[in-house]
Amino acid sequence: MSISNLDPECLQIMSKSPTKVPPTAAVIFGATGDLTHRKIVPAFYHLAKNDLLPDDFAIIGFARRPKSDEEFRKDLGDALEKFSHTKPVDQAIWKKLAERIYYFQGELDDPKAYQKLADKLKKLSQSEKIGENYLFYLATAPDYFGQAAQNLAAAGLASRPDGTRHRLIVEKPFGEDLKSAEELNRTVQGAFAEKDIFRIDHYLGKETVQNLIYFRFANAIYEPLWNRRYIDHVQITVAEQVGVESRGGYYDHAGASRDMLQNHLFQLFTLTAMEPPASLDAESIRDEKVKVLRSIPTPSLDFLQKNVIRAQYGGGFIGNKAIPAYRQEEKVAHDSLTETFVAARFEIDNWRWSGVPFYLRTGKALAAQFTEINIIFKRPPEVLFAASADDRLRRNSLRIRIQPNESISLNFNAKVPGKSEAELVEMDFLYKSGFDHYLPEAYERLLVDALVGESTLFTRSDEVEQAWRLVDAVRDSWRKQNARDLPLYACGSMGPVEADLLLEKTGRHWIRPKEIST
């Protein structure tokens, strides 16, 4: 399929380009950290490269270490060479952007530092004519999120009714359970208006995730089938080949349930299951996503113990790369019971989905790196082929490949030439060959949206809390379980056998990605 084959009405929706970014000073808290170097500044560079930033724009890095503007620019330039997803880096564009990057030394918990920051911003707004629109990006350790928001408010830098735009981006994790998320919501909402708070889930910035809404609601042929009458079950997998690498300190407290399930998997889940929104505006879409979560009653302990599997990786090899057992990873407790894999069955109690299981799984150190949503349809009636087929007809399925090799494939039964047999064949749409377009990184889209105040791709307070309600129930059930029930899985596998049994006990199986052929 190529874009020129699409209906003109649909093209019009898809080509809605981002609103023009107003003159702004973006302040990054945690400016010497990994995220700033790997993702945030490369995203700003690509926005500049694609002419999406105004000339009246500045970036201020706020961090504790002493550093000059020049040193900071050099560090960011070196990181850009390493992490930019387009190469080579265009030096002319980087130089122009780097001239508008400044460093500010301050302690996150020191209110006076924020007063000084306010003075610096005031001066910059005059010297660089950037006006008084500010975007504050909390890319710090999560412990500082609440405090930083309060300090910004005390320095007069939070939301204002005077027409200037003061906005706050909060990185993940947003809380570590329902209670802490509610508390954090109260704190940040005490400083900034909800419309000015942008809670990041970078999965929403991925083009293929945004396409879920277009795929479902800009086509006439799928939506009539998208319900319990035709769909047997849904599988959502986010598989990673990497282990925890240097992030053991954070991860050992989080585990896969907090690090991936509560946010990225639930985003894919709600976008797949939601009802058509009243319009494409942020509140309509987010209302529908929250409704999905609200329609999942907190599962009972018995249900969770039967339908949620957690596991941890043992050591091994992925390809020829040796991966230590999780408990041997840097900054991980030697007797850690943290899960690096989770597979769970959820059921949505609403008219559309009643009785349709959604299986979600994610893990580290697995056989392949891929994110997929598979919609598995009910079997066709076998009246015509029962006599000739050895086996029952295979189910139709739709594979939505979020990453890598972004694609959508429909599987259907076809006659094997020369034989009286049906075999499942796959019809593919590949983004690479279908669209001759630049595929932006998630953070590029999210930054533009926050700069123009567009909230659709950010998580609303109630959505975060609903997701924690379910993850808390899962984690509580683990606390009540015998610790020895934590299975180990081999690196380079697709998780423990228990995760396979979760589906097999109902006559189903996980759909293999193309990368794993056997």
The CA-atom distances, in angstroms, between 100 and each of 59, 86, 425, 479 are: 6, 21, 54, 50
Beta carbon of residue 243, minimum distance to ligand BG6 (angstroms, whole number): 10
Smallest separation (angstroms) from ligand BG6 to the CB of 202: 6
Closest chain position to ligand BG6 (CB): 259
Task: Compare residues 240 and 465 and give the one whose CB is closer to ligand BG6.
Answer: 240
DSSP state of 493: B
Q: How far is CA 212 from CA 188, 189, 274, 372, 419, in A?
A: 30, 30, 10, 12, 37
**Would you state the structure tokens that stand for residue 126, as one six-digit string?**
């005059």
Nearer to ligand BG6, 206 or 289 (CB): 206
**H or E segment to which residue 147 belongs:** helix 145-154
* Near ligand BG6 in 172-231, by CB under 6 A: 172
Q: Can you tell me the distance from the alpha carbon of 278 to that of 165, in angstroms, rounded to the nearest whole number?
A: 27
CA distance 299 to 475: 12
- Residues 309-368 touching ligand BG6, rule: CB under 6 A, are none
User: How many residues in the chain?
Assistant: 518
Closer residue to ligand BG6, CB minimum distance, 165 or 264? 264
Is the separation of the CB atoms in 236 and 265 below 8 Å? Answer: yes
> Which lies closer to ligand BG6 via its Cβ, residue 132 or residue 201?
201
Smallest distance, ligand BG6 to C-beta of residue 344, A: 17
Both tokens of 121, joined, read 């911003």
Sheet containing 101-105: give its strands across.
101-105, 57-63, 24-29, 134-138, 166-170, 197-199
The residue count for binding ligand BG6 (CB under 6 A) is: 3
Q: Report how far residue 26's alpha carbon sits from residue 49's, in angstroms, rounded to the nearest whole number.
A: 17
Should residue 240 be labelled a site residue for ligand BG6 when binding is judged by CB under 6 A? yes
CB of 363 within 8 A of CB of 342? yes
Annotated catalytic, 437? no
Phi, psi of 450 (to 5 degrees): -65, -35
Which one, 259 or 329, has the nearer CB to ligand BG6? 259
Helix (H/G/I), strand (E/B), else coil: 453 = coil
CB of 470 to ligand BG6, least distance (A): 18
Given the residues 46, 166, 202, 264, the one annotated as active site? 264
Is the CB of 356 or the CB of 365 nearer to ligand BG6?
Answer: 365
> For residues 110 and 114, what is the distance between their CA atoms, to the nearest angstrom?
7
CA-CA distances (angstroms) from residue 181 to 172, 174, 187, 459, 476? 11, 6, 10, 12, 16
Among 259, 329, 339, 449, binds ligand BG6 (CB under 6 A): 259
Residue 240 Cβ vs ligand BG6, minimum distance, rounded to whole Å: 5
Which residue's entry shows tokens 């500044």?
A: 41
Please report how close the Cβ of residue 141 comes to ligand BG6 at its closest, in angstroms: 13
Query: What is the C-alpha radius of gyration for the chain, rounded to an integer number of angstroms?
Result: 24
**Min. distance of Cβ 264 from ligand BG6 in angstroms?**
6
Q: Which is nearer to ligand BG6, 167 or 172 (CB)?
A: 172
Binding mask 263-302 for ligand BG6 (x = CB under 6 A): ----------------------------------------
Hey, which residues are catalytic here? 264
The contact set with ligand BG6 (CB under 6 A) reads 172, 240, 259
